Structure 1
């Protein structure tokens, strides 16, 4: 094995080397804005000894059927020798039956109250029939679920400790954690309880598409399977994160782990303890992110903000005067630099609080006042039920048309087209029937079956109206046309490049 070692720096005889070192130290001291670094710990032993009794192992049991799933027999010609071979193979894989059996899983948690309240991840105890908690001294208790929140992936458990004295830990402020700060994680990786690992805060505010409120702390402290639900501590011994996820091709730690920050977790846990569920602020809007083309089409200087794709007719946003196509720039004195910030800010706002919003509308900033509502159990379903309103516009003339220079062919909605693309009777707009594969429309993600319901905030009810909007945009030297597009899965805005129509 070849081991590379750094070469020592040669120093000339005399006082040159000490002088150089002194000058280097002087330069460091005079660097502007240089902050003193926190001392490197000689050992984490004292901190670990103090915190280990507060971290628990969680094991769950659930009833499952046929863990290998329902396997279908491949089709072979009658009498084929492979038929018997595959039948025997599948029976061995499936155990010959699908009788229910017990499956176990392991995770971690930590005590927050000597009365027996324990925090963990929701995915650790999801679908569990039984939950057991093992303390640091190996005593075991059965736990009940006080409440859980799948959106943030947190759960609150309760055990009855009897005469057992539990050692709780306190939450710290994750907002104070800086990239490069030391952190310590304790958990139950691969069933090895009471395991301590250390590392640093690698990044803040990570979005890994795990849920609507992603704001993870990234760390290189080794986190493996079974660490889920365990605490991440700062050097004061305060919980600043709940370990929840890793990125790994093998399932083992590669130094990319994620923790739910305490600033996001503590209000959730407080609600679970008080109410058994989470009460979140709600604005009643669907939003999407902005790209540079959309921002330019709206006259915005950059792509910051959250674009309102639709407004719930019965929600707080509608009562505040929000409109489709508004871009929310500020909410309750907080900037909204990107789309995903708005749901987190609104959800954390107290229900009933009156707030100011700054939105971009028709090329200028507009200030609106809103009263934050309480998020329903499933706002997406409510929006789908109420979408469309009472007034239904008259059906336009039938017909289809290719829109020059866009790659789009659209048609008036008809009963056969509604059936073909699975569109509801209350749907409006023109339906995309064809897309050229190398067109701007295809690059922007438009697909057959999409409904174009607005162009530059004006309703579209016939192909001729869309063609006119495209032509008007070109005459006005617009680089793109803002379309409002809907399909059974989503409602969004698209900035369609106009280019030059081929004559």
Structure 2
């Protein structure tokens, strides 16, 4: 269980380290002029009809406004206006030049339908156009290239189940009045215990059951009720089974010689019956659990090192590939945005109407 938890924790950190790369920031071009909403807009660039253009445009007289560029996404493009069309009338008003046309468009509220009298290759025509809102048209242009529409999703690994945690509640552990610790290989050789198994008595409380049984600091408990004791967990498990007062036989090693001692186990302290039952572990159980978990975690970490290095080696190329693809997409979006802004800047400089 601890192994599953550590792998999940470390993998989550690895994924977040790659996924936490900052998103490229795109800043607006300060040279682009953005108009506020409410400005009437057709989406055309125009110029006055000059005397040298009358013949080329097949006009009968020198008047009107020639269209030199049409925004196909704007009202004019959608209505069918084309380059080199000549606007001669605006809602029945005779058009003499560019400034007059600009004024008439400004005075027309957005959303209103107008009729343009035009000449196309010398043929008179009428075009119906709905006046647009300059701010909305330009906002739609930016919406088409929103880089946030492309999102990199990285799913973190599932968290492990926690139902395997040791059950330390709803148990009673009688106290023998002694402080204990695992022996280990090094101390086992010193005290004469094989394979470092057993529980070392570090201190004995005066007046306790352990002292009354003759247990001393430096003794190593290797058996309890004829069961082998490898560490504190084994001893605590056996003691928890003695909830009622009684006797227990402990096999101890003293001066490298094994002997038996009989201990009168006191009855475990129980909470008063007041309608609610809360059973908590004693301090010794908590200390045992903490020490055991610390030792197990250290052991698991050492055992996990090869596996973690292998997982990191397997995941790193995939994560790097995903990151490179995302960066490539963002670069393409940035180029597209720059192109759109150049077009918009050009349009503003051309004084489109």
TM value normalised by structure 2: 0.31
Say which structure is richer in strand.
1
Say which structure is richer in helix.
2
Whose RCO is larger (CA < 8 A, sep 6+)? Answer: 2
